[in-house]
């Protein structure tokens, strides 16, 4: 392999808004972020992915067919990224493809991501590395979160202790002390319930800047009922997803007396509170907090986090060199590099696996 290599990372997460494609360059000094693009999902695809989170008629065939559709969209995102950066497929060492999670039950030894990596390799003419989570689960881990290892490579400082928070559909935390062990885990719902609730009541895919949340009033009883879920008090390592936090779970607690905007305000409080609690309880000595993921742009959520964390600066990862929107996609490019070079991609202290493992299965072009 050459001393300089290019890797593409593809990420489509629990927010179900689309696929992020990021290009990184690696060399003897490490890596740096090059460029990224976003390719949105059509509503019909989003609805089918939501449906596949639950048992349904002919779901195995539907999952396989949807995986083929995703492979086509991933290929288009790769093509757009190559066009934007003026690179040809033969210059890319590998694609790291997360795939779309439709089930995540680590307590059962199960995680399922669809996306047909073989088809993606065929469509792009580029080596593909996929299925990153299952090896960690086979080693007794949660299979998530995987991004803390990348956060360490990208953002760790020898002099400043930092917490990195990714706010996607699910929020997750990485603790990067200046010295000592790295830890990380899922905090709980990030955008997932906020997006679902505003979609029902206003037909919008997300609450821009948290404006609708800001118009409502916190419902303390509802918040406490949601916070009573055992996931929040469980010690790390832990991970979660739509299997646990979904609209039916929310609807089981609400009454007709609750105004929709007040429920939205309370869902934002749930996201902010669980992130802040995770930092306050597990990141003693954190000097700085950096946010990434789609939820990082929710100014109402950011303001609330700053209020919960008054002694710590709260900023976006942009100021550390990677745009908040592209951190996860860049992480899977980096994980592809790790796999290609026979290096571990997990952190056992984060996932609970028995030890470091090389993650991902290879699909040659």
Q: Which of 94, 173, 138 is nearest to 359 (CA)?
A: 138
pTM: 0.95
Q: Record the tokens describing residue 290, joined without a space.
A: 């950096």
CATH superfamily membership of 5-144+326-363: ATPase, nucleotide binding domain (3.30.420.40)
Q: How far is CA 328 from the centre of its chain?
A: 6
| CATH 3.30.420.40 domain position(s) in the chain | 5-144+326-363, 147-320
Contacts of 233 (CB under 8 A, 6+ apart): none
Q: Kindly report the CA angle at 164 between 166 and 152, in degrees rounded to 5?
A: 115
pLDDT given at position 1: 43
pLDDT given at position 3: 85
d(CA 81, CA 86): 8
d(CA 161, CA 177): 4
Average pLDDT for runs of 10 along the chain of length 365: 86 93 95 96 95 94 98 98 98 98 95 98 98 98 96 97 97 97 96 96 96 98 98 96 95 96 98 97 94 97 97 96 97 98 97 98 98
Report the C-alpha dihedral over residues 129, 133, 136, 138, rounded to 10 degrees: -100
CATH number of this structure's domain 147-320, picked from the four choices 3.40.50.300, 3.30.420.40, 2.60.40.10, 3.30.70.990 = 3.30.420.40
Query: Which residues are 192's β-sheet partners?
Result: none
Strands 18-27 and 30-40, by their bridges, are: antiparallel
From the number of C-beta atoms within 10 Å of its C-beta (0-12, 13-18, 19+), residue 203 rates as: exposed
d(CA 155, CA 173): 13
pLDDT given at position 122: 98
Q: Kindly report the CA angle at 262 between 261 and 263, in degrees rounded to 5?
A: 90
d(CA 15, CA 190): 9
Q: What is the CA radius of gyration of the chain?
A: 20
**Which helix (DSSP H) or strand (DSSP E) does residue 230 occupy?**
helix 230-233
Q: Record the tokens describing residue 205, joined without a space.
A: 């895919």
């Amino acid at each position: 392999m050459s001393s300089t290599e290019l890797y593409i990372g593809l990420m489509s997460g629990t927010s179900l808004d689309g696929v992020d494609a990021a290009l990184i360059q690696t060399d003897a000094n490490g890596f740096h972020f090059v460029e990224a693009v976003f390719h949105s999902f059509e509503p019909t695809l989003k609805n089918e992915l939501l449906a596949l989170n639950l048992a349904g008629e002919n779901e195995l065939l539907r999952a396989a067919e949807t995986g083929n559709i995703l492979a086509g969209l991933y290929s288009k995102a790769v093509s757009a990224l190559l066009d934007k950066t003026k690179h040809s497929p033969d210059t890319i060492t590998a694609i790291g493809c997360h795939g779309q999670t439709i089930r995540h039950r680590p307590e059962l030894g199960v995680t399922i991501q669809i996306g047909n990596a073989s088809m993606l390799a065929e469509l792009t003419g580029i080596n593909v590395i996929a299925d990153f989570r299952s090896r960690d689960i086979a080693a007794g881990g949660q299979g998530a979160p995987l991004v803390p290892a990348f956060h360490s490579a990208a953002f760790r400082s020898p002099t400043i202790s930092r917490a990195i928070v990714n706010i996607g559909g699910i929020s997750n935390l990485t603790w990067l002390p200046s010295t000592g062990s790295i830890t990380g885990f899922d905090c709980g719902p990030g955008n997932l319930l906020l997006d679902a609730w505003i979609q029902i009541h206003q037909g919008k895919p997300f609450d821009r800047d948290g404006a609708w949340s800001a118009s409502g009033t916190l419902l303390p009883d509802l918040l406490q009922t949601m916070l009573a879920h055992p996931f929040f008090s469980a010690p790390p390592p832990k991970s979660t997803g739509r299997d646990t936090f979904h609209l039916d779970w929310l609807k089981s607690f609400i009454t007709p007396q609750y105004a929709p905007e007040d429920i939205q305000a309370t869902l934002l409080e749930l996201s902010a509170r669980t992130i802040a609690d995770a930092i306050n309880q597990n990141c003693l000595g954190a000097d700085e907090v950096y946010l990434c993921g789609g939820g990082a742009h929710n100014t109402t959520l950011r303001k609330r986090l700053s209020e919960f964390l008054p002694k710590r600066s709260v900023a976006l990862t942009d100021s550390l060199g990677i745009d908040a929107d592209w951190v996860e996609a860049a992480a899977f490019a980096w994980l592809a590099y790790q796999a290609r070079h026979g290096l571990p991609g997990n952190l056992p202290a984060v996932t609970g696996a028995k030890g470091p493992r090389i993650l991902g299965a290879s699909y040659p072009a």
